[in-house]
Every structure is written in C-alpha cells, then in structure tokens.
C-alpha cells in the first residue's frame, strides 16, 4: 500500500449537477474514484491509495494531464487503486467528471 497526495490549482468550471459521484470498482486491475464538489478555495486535491508502490511519478503525470485537459475547481478526488493501468485511471477520471457534471450515476 502507498498513500499519495496531490494538489492542483483550480480553473473555473460550470456548476456540477451532483455534489459527489463514485465510478469504478475495487477489483484487480481496476480502481474506484470518488469525485466530490467541496470547498477548497478554488483549488483541487487528490488522495490516492494504491496497492502498487513506487509509481508516484506516473500518478503525478496522469493527474497533471487530466487537470490540464479539464477545468475543475473545488473538487476533491479520492482514488482507491487495485493496480489499474494509467489508461484505466484516465478513463475513470473522465467518466467521473462526466457523471458529476451531467448528473448520471
């Protein structure tokens, strides 16, 4: 197990339809993403709990790309990772954001 934390400056986003969403599952090669609209003075925060240690640099790169492509503010993301590849992480993040904004679950 490894616990990682990342902060990202926020960028204005439309008011989401939901306050929080969960996507994904806690199973091998997969992950669960909890995305919440919270008050963080406009910035964003990510907590990662992962079963695979030593990949902090890759998490940093994947999350940086996600925040560069999508405008988010006052969002907290909590990730429970069971060995997902960066591709799956990226897909789950996009799905979570979609659900948060459009209100699908």
Partner 1 sequence: MRQWDTLAANRRARLARGQAMSSGKIVDPAMITALLEAVIEPGDRVCLEGDNQKQADFLARSLTRVDVTRVHDLHMVQSVLAMPEHLELFERGIARRLDFSFSGPQGARLARLVRAGGIEIGAIHTYLELFSRYFIDLTPRVSLIVASSADRAGNLYTGPNTEDTPAIVEATAFKNGIVIAQVNTLAESLPRVDIPGDWVDYVVVSPTPHIIEPLFTRDPAQISEIQVLMAMLVIRGIYAEYGVNRLNHGIGFDTAAIELLLPTYGERLGLKGKICRYWAMNPHPTIIPAIESGFVESIYSFGSELGMEAYTAARSDIFFTGPDGSLRSNRAFCQAAGHYACDLFIGSTLQVDLEGNSSTATLDRITGFGGAPNMGADARGRRHASGAWLKAGHEDAGASRMPRGRKLVVQMVETFRERMQPAFVERLDAWHLMEETGMALPPVMIYGDDVTHIVTEEGIANLLLCHDAEERAEAIRGVAGYTPVGLARNSRAVENLRDRGVIRRPEDLGIDVREAGRDLLAARTMKDLVHWSGGLYNPPRRFRNW
Shortest distance, position 95 Cβ to partner 1, whole Å: 6
Q: Which residues bind partner 1 (CB under 8 A)?
A: 29, 52, 55, 57-58, 61-62, 83, 85-88, 90-91, 94-95, 98
Q: What is the 3-state secondary structure (H, E, C) of 56-74?
A: HHHHHHHHHHHHHHCCCCC
CB 79 within 8 A of CB 89: yes
| Dihedrals phi, psi of 96, to nearest 5 degrees | -65, -45
Comparing CB distances to partner 1, the nearer of 38 and 68 is 68
Q: Minimum Å distance from CB 96 to partner 1?
A: 10
What's the closest the beta carbon of residue 104 comes to partner 1, in angstroms? 10
């Amino acid at each position: 197990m490894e616990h990682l934390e990342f902060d990202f400056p926020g960028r204005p986003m439309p008011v989401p339809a939901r306050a929080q969403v969960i996507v994904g599952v806690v199973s091998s090669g997969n992950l669960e993403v909890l995305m919440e609209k919270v008050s963080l003075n406009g910035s964003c925060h990510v907590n990662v709990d992962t079963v695979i240690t030593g990949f902090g640099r890759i998490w940093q790169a994947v999350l940086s790309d996600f925040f560069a492509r999508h405008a988010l503010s006052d969002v907290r993301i909590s990730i429970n990772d069971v060995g997902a590849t960066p591709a799956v992480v990226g897909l789950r993040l996009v799905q979570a954001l979609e659900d948060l904004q459009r209100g699908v679950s």
